[in-house]
Amino acid sequence: MKTKKNILYTNISEITDFLRSTDFSKAILMMLALLIPIVVSLQWDALGIGITISLGAMFASPNDVSGNVRMKLKGICLAILLCMFVISISGFIRSSYALLFPGLGVLIFFISYLSVYGFRSSLISFSGLFALALSFSSLAESAIPTYQRVLLIGAGGIWYMLLVVLRNVFFPKAPIEYSMLKTIRLTATYLYTRGLLADVKNDRAALLEELLRIQGELTDLHETLRELLMTGRRDSGKSSYGARRLLVFVHLVDMLELAMAHPVIYYKTDVVFKEKPELLTAFQNLLFAMSARLESIGDHISTPGRLERDQRMAEYLSEVEKGIAELLHTDVENKGEKFLMMNNVLKYQQNQTETIKKIEWLFRNPRKSDYNHVRKEDFKGFLTKENYDFNILVNNFNLESPIFRHSLRIAIVSIVGYAVGILFDLQNPYWIVLTVIVIMRPSYGLTNERFRHRSIGTLIGGVIAFALIMLIHNTTIYAILAVVSFVIGFSMVQRNYKASAIFITLQVLFTYALLEPDVFEVMQFRVLDTLIGAGLAALGNLLLWPAWEIKSIDKTLLETLCAIREYLRDIAAYYNDKTTYSNEYKISRKRAFLAISELSSSFQRMAQEPKSQQKDLHKIYELAMLHHTFLAALASLSAFILNNPTTPASENFNAVIKRILDILEAGEKTIEDKDYTPSEAFFKEDVFKDTFGDHRSYIAMTEKNSGDEIAPELEEASLVLEQLQWMLGMSKKILKSLGQMEWDKA
């Protein structure tokens, strides 16, 4: 239970993290980008010009995301060019109703369709849609000629790019430091959750789900951090700072893989911990101490000199070592099996503590000659590259493509929303379109979640704004509140969308309170427009070619199976010939981790959908857990083979590996060909027993071992054989579960 002191510390820590986050710094940058042109233009009595330049900066801002600066600037350039094109023709399509609705629909469809190229393209697409929606607002109705307005929009984009470059010049390390801090903190949470899982009294099902969620987030953070470290300034990898941060990143990735490589077999450890509860306490205390140490390192990531020494990890590790040594001496009958299992856990703990010590040491700025450097060139293959081939546009131009359906859906809903605004003579119909663009996403679950959060946030923000405006009659305070609300609102978009909606609503209404005499009428229309747009977005995702997860789950499962099969094949190849280790092996490992993360996310999205569309939800959950368990076994086998001297792979080992690969391939065929029926031999034959016989005979051999140490050959045999048997069993269960799925054959 958390004490008041701990709760206070946690709250202060969260506030501090928020203030040093890239989300907050981006919101500050965006505020400056919008305010400075307006303030300067007021001095020259040219407010229209200042507002238009600010709009250009606003259109550029969605593309300011964590990652490579060059890619970011390219994204901003393309977004501004798209916005300039949109602004230049929006006046033409607004000239008559005959052109308005067809033109609006076609523009929205094709701009949205650009997101088929991936994440960065989706940001460019959003900028274009944002510009299109605002081109229908009163801000577009100015005395400035269209061509000048287009050029000023471009100037606003260049202005924002300049601020981004300046931020990178003065704070080049900030994105790396923040992403690394998030990764360290989340890794600490991962270890803490593992500690909770050790106790049978805790809800393990819920904790395992939480562990999967954290693992998915960590995988995404690793991708971001990898891009920041690999594609930063050319000399960053050679500098002391860049080299040390790169090594820290490598160790953080190793910590996750090491944790997955040592899944705890709870039904076995529970027996040991029941007999020796003090060992459970020591085991948990060690994990909690490792988590706390990582938290402390994160707290002092910029001030490592203030990080105090802490011996708790060493003390708890000593207690675990003592408890496992006693287990070998006291439990003679089962000492082989129990000792090997717990000794494997101990090695995992020792490796993790050593890794944490290395991370801490690297943050304390050691001399360059004291650590090995990592070449950035060795990691280039790990970066996920977007494919911008024109054929992608062509191949996705059909109703089978989720992006095509989403583009068609958002175009139709936007037309309906604008028509509703005109039909009922609403004050600003464009706000409905803007709300649809902001809320609607390809997946039903995310759209529905945004609908709820945006609606609730708008209502709460409206009530708060109404109360404050009734109590306060000071335009200076309105201006201050508008600026503060703007910064908080936009910095919370990725963290808490409901809170973001509250503050953005406050910012909009306080801004209107500065400009409009009858702000309460404006307030009513703003809230009404937002609710109409949010409702249409949710309804559109429900009725118009809904992208139910069950429709694409077969593709996700197929990609996951292919990824883990390739990973297993590379592990087996390395076991047979240890000279074959290369980046290709590491890349296949990364693909397997990403695939498992995507499968877990797919299940989470399906769980958010209506009950009628959650067909085979329990089977999807079962398959997600089976794939996760299989990957854990793969990681365990891989870690042992990579980090220990091993005997040559036997023919029996290769025979079992071949059978597992055959079963996984049968699983792929089951997904690809819905009428395929796998051979019964996959389920009835026990190739493991036929090949190895009673592999537990090593226990008897261990008991004959007179010393306190376990022979390396026996340790290798026990771990390799156990993982082989486990993977064989998991592969059969995966194939069986796939065969029981009710596939959509449409």
pLDDT in tens, 195-227: 888 887 888 778 887 887 888 888 888 888 887
Model pLDDT, residue 581: 58
Residues 391/325, Cβ–Cβ less than 8 Å: no
Confidence of residue 460 (pLDDT cuts 50, 70, 90): very high
Distance CA 23, CA 10 (A): 20
* Cα radius of gyration (the chain): 29
Mean pLDDT value of segment 157-163? 95
Percent of the chain with pLDDT over 70: 84
Query: What is the number of helices (H) and of strands (E) in the chain?
Result: 29, 0
Q: Which residue is listed with tokens 């307005």? A: 149
* Lowest-confidence pick of 189-198, 227-236, 650-659: 227-236
Distance CA 41, CA 46 (A): 5
For residue 322 the two structure tokens come to: 């003592």
Position 367 pLDDT exceeds 70? no
Mean pLDDT value of segment 614-629? 85
Position 487 pLDDT exceeds 80? yes
Architecture of the CATH domain 549-739: Up-down Bundle (1.20)
Closest CA to 365 of 422, 300, 316: 300
**What angle (nearest 5°) sits at the alpha carbon of residue 115, between those of residues 111 and 119?**
140
Residues 74/157, Cβ–Cβ less than 8 Å: no
Confidence of residue 731 (pLDDT cuts 50, 70, 90): confident
Distance of CA 49 to the CA centre of its chain: 39
Residues 352/259, Cβ–Cβ less than 8 Å: yes
| DSSP code of residue 135 | T
Q: Which residue type occupies 466?
A: F
Mean pLDDT value of segment 132-159? 83
The 10s digit of each residue's pLDDT in 499-510 is: 888 888 888 888
Q: Fold identical between 174-377 and 549-739?
A: yes
Position 562 pLDDT exceeds 70? yes
Model pLDDT, residue 236: 44
Model pLDDT, residue 699: 45
Q: Which residue is listed with tokens 């709300």? A: 435
As a whole number, the mean pLDDT across the chain is 81
The 10s digit of each residue's pLDDT in 516-538 is: 667 777 778 888 888 999 999 98
Distance CA 66, CA 167 (A): 13
Range 622-628, long-range pairs (CB < 8 A, 24+ positions): 622/737, 623/557, 623/599, 623/734, 623/737, 623/738, 624/212, 624/599, 624/600, 625/208, 625/212, 626/730, 626/733, 626/734, 626/737, 627/560, 627/561, 627/564, 627/596, 627/599, 627/734, 628/212, 628/596, 628/600
Buried b vs exposed e over 138-153: b needs ≥16 C-beta within 10 Å?
eebeeebeeeebbebb
Confidence of residue 371 (pLDDT cuts 50, 70, 90): low
Closest CA to 37 of 17, 21, 56: 56
Model pLDDT, residue 690: 56
Distances (CA, A) of 492 to 27, 185, 487, 502, 564: 9, 19, 9, 10, 36
Of 543 and 642, more confident: 543
Of 232 and 95, more confident: 95
Residues 512/467, Cβ–Cβ less than 8 Å: no
Q: Which residue is listed with tokens 């995310």? A: 446
Q: Which CATH number is 174-377 given?
A: 1.20.58
Model pLDDT, residue 409: 94
Closest CA to 572 of 647, 637, 633, 668: 637
Residues 252/187, Cβ–Cβ less than 8 Å: yes
Of 647 and 580, more confident: 647
Distance of CA 530 to the CA centre of its chain: 28
Residue 278: enclosing H or E segment and its boundaries?
helix 277-299
Domain ranges of the chain: 1-171, 174-377, 549-739
Model pLDDT, residue 437: 92
| DSSP code of residue 504 | H
